[in-house]
Structure 1
Amino acid sequence: MLAILITLTAGASAIGWILSQSWRDRRRRNKIRAKPFPKEWRTILKKRMPYFRSLPSDLQLQLKKHIQVFLAEKQFVGCDGLEIDDEIRVTIAAQACLLLLNRQTDYYPNLRQILVYPSAFIVRQQQRDANGLEWHSQRLLAGESWGQGKVVLSWQNTLDDAADPADGRNVVIHEFAHQLDQEAGDANGAPRLGEFNAYPVWSQVLGQEFAKLQAQAASGEPSLFSYYGATNPAEFFAVISEVFFEQPQQMKADYPELYQELSRFYRLDPLNWQ
C-alpha cells in the first residue's frame, strides 16, 4: 500500500510540475508577444519576405508575434565563419513561423538550435551494408532537419528561396515541415493531425500521390513536385508543403484532394493571399 501511495504521489507531483511548467511557458510567451515588434525587424520582413505584404492583416500580426517568441527561444549558430545578425534570424524565423499560423503551437518544442552556413554545405556519411562493407559518401545540401533538436540551413539558399515566393522551392519551409513531422516521433510523413479520425484520409490521399510521384520520377514524367519528394514519405510531406505555400493555385487545380488535406492540417488557404 505504501508503495502504491508513493507511486501515486510521485505521479501527481509530475503532472503538477508539467502543468505549472506549461502555465509558466504561456505566461512568459504572452509577455514576449505583448512587446512592440521592432521597426528594424519589420524592415527586414519587407525586404526579405515578399509575400508578407500579401498576408491578411490578422495573419501578419500573428506572424510577428510568433517571430518574437521564436527568436526569444531558439539559438542561432553561425558556421564556417558566418556571423549571425538580425537579418538572418528574422528572415529564417518568419518563414519557419508561417507553418505555425492559425494553429495551437508549442513553437517546435524539440528544436533548440538553428545552424546557419554561408552557402550549401557538405555532409559526409559513413555507411555499412548487410555484408559489413563500409563506404563513405558526401552530399551537398541546402538544409537538414535533425531529430536531436537542430535544423541546419544554407543562408544563400534561404535568401534565394525567399526572394522568389512562387517557384515552389523553399528550404526553410521544407526543413521546418520535417520538424512538425518529427514532433510525432521519427519523420514519416504523418505529423500530428489533431484528430485521430483524420489519419485514414491523410494516409489514403498522400499515399496515392506519393506513389504517383514515384512513378513520374521513374519515367521522367514532369510533375509539379520535385522528384526529391519521391525519396520517402517524409520528404514527400516536406516537398508538398513547399508547393502548398508557394504555388497554391496550381496545386489546388492539379491536386485538389492533396491541397485540401494540407489546408486542413495547416489551417490555412494560401490562395487567399494572392
Structure 2
Amino acid sequence: MITVITILGGSSLLVFLIWSWERIRYDYRRLDRDSNHPAPEGSGSLLPEWAQHHDWLRTHNIYYRSLSLDNQARFLRRVMDFMRYKEFKYIDLEPDPMIPLLISAAAVQLTFGLTDFRLDFFEKIYVSGSAYQVHWHKQAFQGHVSLQGIYLSWDHFFHGYQEYDDGHNVGLHEMAHALTYGAMMGRTTMEKSFRTKFKEYAKAAYPILTRMRNGEDSVLDRYAATNFHEFWAVSVETFFEKPLLLKTCEPALYGALCQLLNQDPLELTAVKVV
C-alpha cells in the first residue's frame, strides 16, 4: 500500500484508488455474470498495474483528468478491457506498456458515451515509430484504417495529446474512422441506433462541407473539405480539442455530435456513461 501512495501522490487519491478498485472488481464480477466475456484471470491482482495506468492517463490525457472520479474509474476499466481484446503490433518501434494504454484511451474517449466501445470490427492495431509509407502513395501517412486494422504513427499520436488545443489529434481522427467503418459495415451492436443518429449528424455536416468545398473558411481544418469521411474525422478532432469554438461557430454540428456520441466535452464532469 505504501507503493500505491507513492505512485498516486496523496491520501485523497489513495481513498479514490481503494474505492475505484472495489468498483472495478465489482464490474468485472458483473461482466463475468452477465455477458459472454469472462473476467480476466487474476483480476484480483491488478491493483499495482491499475495504479500505474491511472498515473499515465492523468499525465498524458487531459480528457481523463477532466472526468469525475467516478467516471475516471469507469474510463480506466474500459481502457483495460479494450486492450485485452486488441493485438498491438509494433513497426520500427520498441514495445512500451504506455503505448497500448494511451492508444486504447483515445478509442475509449471517443466512445465513452456509448454502450459499444470496443470497436470489435478491428482486432489489430499497428503502431509505427513515425510517419510511414502505404503501397504506392507518395505521401507518408500519420495514420489510416483498413480491413487489416488500425494504423498509427506513435510520434504523431503522442504529439496530438501533448498539444491538445490545436484541433489536430491523429488518435481521435483514426478512431473516428474506425468507429464509422465498423458501424457502417454492419458488424457492431451499435449499428441501428448509431446509423440513425449519424444521419442526423450528416444533415448538419453536409452544408458546412459544401461551403468549405466552395472556398469558405471554417473553424474546421481545411482537410475536412477533402470528402465527407475526412470531414467526419476532422469534426471529431475539433469537437474534443476546440469544443467551445465549435459550439459557438457551428452550433448545429456541435449539437449533432453531442447526440451522436452521447457526451459533451464542455460538461465532462457530468457525462453519464450508458
Cα gap change, 1:193 to 1:30, in 2 (>3 Å) = farther
What amino acid is aligned across from residue 87 of structure 1 in structure 2?
M
Mark the runs of 5 or more structure 1 residues left unpaired by the alignment: 1-21, 126-136
Helix, strand or coil for the counterpart of 1:194? Answer: helix
Contact residue 121 and residue 142 of structure 1 kept, 8 A = yes
Structure 1 residues 185-200: aligned runs within 5 Å:
185=184, 192=191, 194=193, 198=197, 200=199
Question: For residues 185 and 61 of structure 1, what CA distance do their matches in structure 2 show?
Answer: 30
Across the aligned residues of Structure 1 and Structure 2, the Cα RMSD in angstroms comes to 2.7
1:181-260 alignment to 2 at 5 Å? 181-185=180-184, 192=191, 194=193, 198=197, 200-216=199-215, 221-260=216-255
Gaps of 5+ in 2: 1-33, 270-274
- C-alpha displacement of 1:181: 0.6
Which deviates more, 44-53 or 169-178?
44-53
How many Å separate the matches in 2 of 1:39 and 1:153? 26
* Structure 2 residue 62 is the aligned partner of structure 1 residue 67: no
CA deviation string 1:211-248 (max 9, x = no partner): 122123xxxx4321122111111111111001101110
- In structure 2, relative to structure 1, the CA distance for the partners of 1:201 and 1:52 (3 Å cut) is closer
> Structure 1: which amino acid aligns with 2:202?
S
Higher strand share: 1
**In 2 relative to 1, CA 238–197 (structure 1 residues): closer, same or farther, beyond 3 Å?**
closer
Go from structure 1 to structure 2 and tell me whether the alpha carbon gap of 1:178 and 1:71 turns closer, same or farther (over 3 Å shift): same
Aligned length: 232
* Amino acid aligned to 2:89: V
Q: Decide whether aligned partners of structure 1 residues 162 and 200 sit closer, same or farther in structure 2, where only a CA change above 3 A counts.
A: closer
Q: Which moved more, 1:31-40 or 1:55-64?
A: 31-40
3-state secondary structure, aligned to 2:133: strand
Aligned to 1:141: 141
Are 2:100 and 1:89 equivalent residues in the alignment?
Answer: yes
**2:172 touches 2:237 (CA, 8 Å); kept in 1?**
yes
Contact 2:194 2:260 in 1 (8 A): no
Shift of 1:192: 4.4
**CA, structure 1 residues 108+196, in 2 after alignment: closer, same or farther (shift >3 Å)?**
closer
Q: Indicate conservation of the 8 Å contact 1:193/1:265, yes or no.
A: no
More off after superposition, 82-91 vs 194-203: 194-203
Larger Rg: 1
1:108 aligns with 2:119: yes
The one-letter code of the counterpart of 2:264 is D
Distance 2:254 2:139 in 1: 31
Question: Match of 2:232, as an amino acid?
Answer: F
Matches of 1:43 and 1:227 in 2, distance apart?
Answer: 35
The equivalent residue for 1:172 is 171
Deviation string for 1:5-41 (max 9, x for gaps)? xxxxxxxxxxxxxxxxx9312x447996995461111
Contact 2:107–2:117 (CA under 8 A) maintained in structure 1: no
Partner Cα separation in structure 1 for residue 266 and residue 154 of structure 2 = 28
Deviations 1:83-122 (Å, cap 9, x if unpaired)?
A: 1211111111111210121211151011111111111112
Whether the 8 Å CA contact 1:32–1:69 is kept in 2: the answer is: no
> Is it true that 1:49 corresponds to 2:61 in the alignment?
yes
**SS at structure 2 position matched to 1:152:** strand
Once the two structures are TM-superposed, the CA of residue 63 in structure 1 deviates from its matched residue by 1.2
How far apart in 2 are the matches of 1:101 and 1:265? 11
Deviations 1:53-81 (CA, angstroms, capped at 9, x unpaired) = 1122333122101101011111111102x
| TM-score normalised to structure 2 length | 0.76
Name the CA shift for 1:196/1:109 in 2 (closer, same or farther; >3 Å): closer
**Percent same amino acid at aligned positions?**
27
Task: Classify the secondary structure of the residue corresponding to 1:107.
Answer: coil
Change (3 A) 1:121 1:248: same
Amino acid at match of 2:56: I
C-alpha separation between the residues in 2 aligned to 1:173 and 1:206?
18
